[in-house]
Amino acid sequence: MHIARELFIRILAGAAVLWAAASLAFAILQLFPSDPVQVIYGADSSVTPELRDAIRADFGLDQPVLVQYQRFVTRIAQGDLGISYQQRRTVTSIIGSEIGSTLTLASLAVLAAVVMAFLASLLTAGRKSWLRRVLSSFELLSVSTPVLWVGILLLTFFSFQWQLFPVVADGGWRSLVLPVATLAVAVFGSLSQVMREEMDRALEQPFILTARTRGLSEWAIRWRHALGHALIPAITISTETFGGLLAGSIVTEQVFGRPGLGRITLEAITNHDIPVVMGIVLFVAFVFVVLNILADLLYRLVDPRLRVSTR
């Protein structure tokens, strides 16, 4: 009962966030210091007066601001993100055609990073081994190296030098390996650092001593008792970075010449394709809201103490 009610409240709150994001986008469009038609249409100056009128009517730009706002919000609420006049397609279909590629890349990268971080913490938490020293140096390196550089290094060695993987995306799984590795390395660094620290702390708790006095093996203690405590920060970091990767894998997608949200964002910005930019902004806000709700549900799943309703 309780969880359903709280979920409902979370969804309402998420809707409020989206509404605020849409309103902000609308306000920025209104305040833009140039002709809205020019803004919407882009830098192309060969707009016929007929098209100009069509756009005006379509956007209701002859209407008062409040009416425009109302229409805008209604449209967004129905999932209609408008039309890119430059590309003569709906924004939804533009995002739709590119999201698959980005989604695959981001999911695989986060999955790989999570699996690696889990293994790294399970193997090295609470121990002073050489492996721990190697891994923490690697984490530090990964956190402090720009993604761009990692991508270029991987391309240089694995594609140009040894020719193991294709240089440019060709649609096959082989072209996914290097971009996924690039992003996974970046995510792994911070994720593994935080998870191990959390597990280190858990391993010093009295309940671990209790588990040892029951005769549990070292592996069972880590797997059954310590790991769960590293999950909360793992959920926070992985959902947040997942959202970040969906919206901002621009560099990686460019380096590896992959289609995706990053590329269309970049194109839309350089071409002043405002409907697409706004559509992506709202879409990303939506993704973050959904991921936040998901993270909250996962927290409750992992930690029973969070299931207690706040009275």
Partner 1 sequence: MHLLTVEDLSVSFPGSVAVRGLSFSVDAGQCVAIVGESGSGKSVTARTLVGLAGDNATVTARNLRLGDKDLRQLSPSQWRSVRGRHIGFVLQDALVSLDPLKTIGSEIAEALTQHVDLSRKEARQKVLDLLASVGIPDPQERVGQYAHQLSGGLRQRALIASAIAADPALLIADEPTTALDVIVQAQVLSLLRDMKAKGTGLILISHDLAVVASLADHIIVLKDGAVVEAGSPDRIFSDPQAPYTRALLAAIPSATTKGRKLTADTPPSTSSDAPGRREDGIALEARALIKRLGSRLAVDHVTLTLRTGETLGLVGASGSGKTTLARLLLGLQQPDRGEVTLRGQSWSGLSERQRRPLRPRIQLVSQDPLGSFDPRYRVMDIIAEALEIAGAPKSDWRARAAELILSVGLSEAHLYRRPRQLSGGQRQRVAIARALAMEPEILICDEPVSALDVSTQAQVLDLLDDLKKQFGLTVLFISHDLGVVHHVSDRVMVMHAGKIVEEGPVDEIFLNPRAAYTRELLAALPRLPTHRPFATHESRNDRTGRDTLSVSA
**Shortest Å distance, C-beta 187 to partner 1:** 24
5 vs 174, beta carbon nearer partner 1 = 5
33 vs 206, beta carbon nearer partner 1 = 206
CA distance 129 to 122: 13
**Side-chain half-sphere CA neighbours of 93 within 13 A:** 7
123 vs 211, beta carbon nearer partner 1 = 211
185, 150 Cβ separation under 8 angstroms: yes
CA distance 226 to 25: 45
SS3 content of the chain, % helix, strand, coil (to 5): 80, 0, 20
83 vs 208, beta carbon nearer partner 1 = 208
**Shortest Å distance, C-beta 20 to partner 1:** 32
**Shortest Å distance, C-beta 19 to partner 1:** 33
CA distance 117 to 128: 17
83 φ/ψ angles, rounded to the nearest 5 degrees: -125, 140
**Shortest Å distance, C-beta 188 to partner 1:** 24
Residues that bind partner 1 (CB under 8 A): 205-207, 209-217, 224-225, 228-229, 302-305, 308, 311
Its sign, for the CA torsion 121, 223, 241, 151, is positive
**Shortest Å distance, C-beta 132 to partner 1:** 15
What is the Cα 24 distance to its own chain's centre?
A: 21
88 vs 214, beta carbon nearer partner 1 = 214
